[in-house]
């Protein structure tokens, strides 16, 4: 027996830590790692609710999230390497082309 909110609070902490990492880190790879933290928080939630409502679908979706996360890391790192190759730096705050 585990109380559901306990797991949810852990997931919330994990998520917020991820948010901090995404916002505060300037190294592209570290930002990607922080995103992994956030995705893990989501997965914890999915598994917890899957056990809570007795529906295995939640775990199936956790698996899907893991697969998509793998794809995301692959693409993300490819982009980071591309940026590094072009600018000799992977600092996210220096890549400020996203404005008019």
Minimum CB–partner distance for residue 34 and other proteins (Å)? 6
Number of residues that bind other proteins (CB under 8 A): 79
Q: Which long-range contacts (CB under 8 A, 24 or more apart) does 92-97 make?
A: 92/25, 92/26, 92/27, 92/28, 92/31, 93/26, 94/26
DSSP state, 1? -
18-77: which residues touch other proteins (CB under 8 A)? 18-34, 36-37, 40, 43-44, 47-48, 50-52, 54, 56-57, 59-60, 62-64, 66-75, 77
Minimum CB–partner distance for residue 78 and other proteins (Å)? 4
């Amino acid at each position: 027996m585990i109380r559901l909110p306990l797991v949810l609070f852990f997931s919330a902490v994990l998520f917020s830590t991820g948010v901090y990492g995404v916002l505060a880190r300037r190294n592209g790879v570290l930002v990607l790692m922080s995103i992994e933290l956030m995705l893990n928080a989501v997965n914890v939630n999915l598994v917890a609710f899957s056990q809570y409502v007795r529906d295995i679908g939640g775990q199936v979706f956790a698996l899907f999230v893991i697969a998509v996360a793998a794809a995301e890391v692959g693409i993300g790192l490819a982009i980071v390497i591309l940026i590094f190759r072009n600018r000799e730096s992977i600092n996210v705050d220096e890549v400020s082309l996203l404005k008019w």
